[in-house]
A = this chain, B = another copy of it.
Amino acid sequence: MISVTIWNEFQHEKIHQKVATIYPTGIHQALAEGIRCPDFSIRTATLDEPEHGLTEEVLRDTDVLIWWGHMAHKKVDDAIVDRVHARVLQGMGLIVLHSGHNSKIFKKLMGTTCALKWREANEKERLWVVDPTHPIAEGIGAFIELPEEEMYGEHFDIPTPDETVFVSWFQGGEIFRSGCTFRRGKGKIFYFRPGHETHPTYHNKDVLRVIANGVKWVAQPGGSKPVYGKSEPLEPLNK
């Protein structure tokens, strides 16, 4: 059983009619419904809750944290960001969605600006699989097509990903590395691009499948127990 916490800033849904129509109970609830399965135990958390819903206790009990944020990145408390950061390095899986590229937690883990090109023009996106061996692409055809999305274009200012699973084509002429994995400490991270709030992307079956695959992949029993700090020789030091 994988313990999943879905975090959503949950702001657009309260103030933008169009977003509320698509996600009446919030993006977090749509995601929870969309990936629900017997292998996952799912809770949600949002910005306006005490400690943003991410208490020490909640994080300790979380195997995989999913992060969606956009207009309120700056309102996320630095102490909570540090707490999430520490948990990722200890082994909690993290899935960062869409505009989460600009969140404090993602930038802190990457060490770069995470800047990119963008355009809101309701254009077509096609996410091509470039690593067909990857479990995150399990069950997907050669690509996923989304009729209308926000455009994100290169250059995407991230460290070279450990694995690039998807690259997006956009109608307006750009491409984007839209499914990327990273390892940080004992934690595995998956960045997945789609999901602008004014499009019903998190109702798309393939998108939900990829997110569910991602949960399983970042939660995968991380290997060994590393040792740090001062240590005695394992061999005699003959001199």
A interface residues, Cβ below 8 angstroms from B: 89, 91, 108-113, 115-119, 121-124, 126, 128-142, 151, 153-157, 159-160, 162-165, 167-175, 177, 182-188, 213, 220-239
B172 touching A221 by the CB < 8 A rule? Answer: no
* Given known A-B contacts A111-B110, A169-B169, A132 and B226 have beta carbons under 8 A apart: yes
Judge whether A160 and B162 touch: CB under 8 Å: yes
Residues of B within 8 A of A187 (CB): 133
Asked if B224 contacts A138 (CB within 8 A), the reply is yes
Separation of A185 and B110 alpha carbons in the complex (Å)? 10
Enumerate chain B residues within 8 angstroms of A89, measured Cβ to Cβ: 112-113, 157
Looking at the complex, which one of B163, B182, B223, B233 makes contact with A159 (CB distance below 8 Å)?
A: B182
Give the distance in Å from the alpha carbon of A70 to the alpha carbon of B225 in the complex.
Answer: 27
| Copies in the assembly, this chain | 4
A91 cross-chain contacts in B, Cβ below 8 A: 133
**Interface class of chain A by DSSP:** loop
What residues on B are CB-neighbors of A173 within 8 Å? Answer: 126, 169, 233-235
B136 touches A228 (CB 8 A): no
Q: Sorted from nearest, which 10 A-B pairs have the closest CB atoms?
A: A137-B223, A173-B234, A172-B233, A155-B226, A137-B224, A129-B224, A173-B235, A115-B228, A140-B224, A142-B227
Tell which of A157, A185, A224 has the most Cβ of chain B within 10 Å: A224
B-side contacts of A132, CB under 8 Å:
155, 186, 222-226
Report chain B residues within 8 Å CB of A130. Answer: 154-156, 177
Say yes or no: A231-B157 contact (C-beta < 8 A), given A132-B223, A175-B168: no
Selected contact of A119 from candidates B113, B131, B170, B231, CB within 8 Å: B231
Do A175 and B175 touch (CB < 8 A)? Answer: yes
A235 to B226, CA, bound (A): 27
* Contact call B183/A133, Cβ cutoff below 8 A: yes
A160 closest partner in B (C-beta):
B162
Q: Are B109's CB and A111's CB within 8 A?
A: yes
Q: List 27 A-B contacts (CB under 8 A).
A: A110-B111, A112-B184, A112-B185, A113-B185, A116-B228, A117-B229, A117-B230, A117-B231, A118-B231, A119-B231, A132-B155, A132-B223, A133-B186, A135-B223, A137-B224, A139-B224, A140-B223, A140-B224, A142-B154, A153-B231, A154-B167, A162-B163, A164-B164, A169-B174, A171-B237, A172-B234, A175-B175
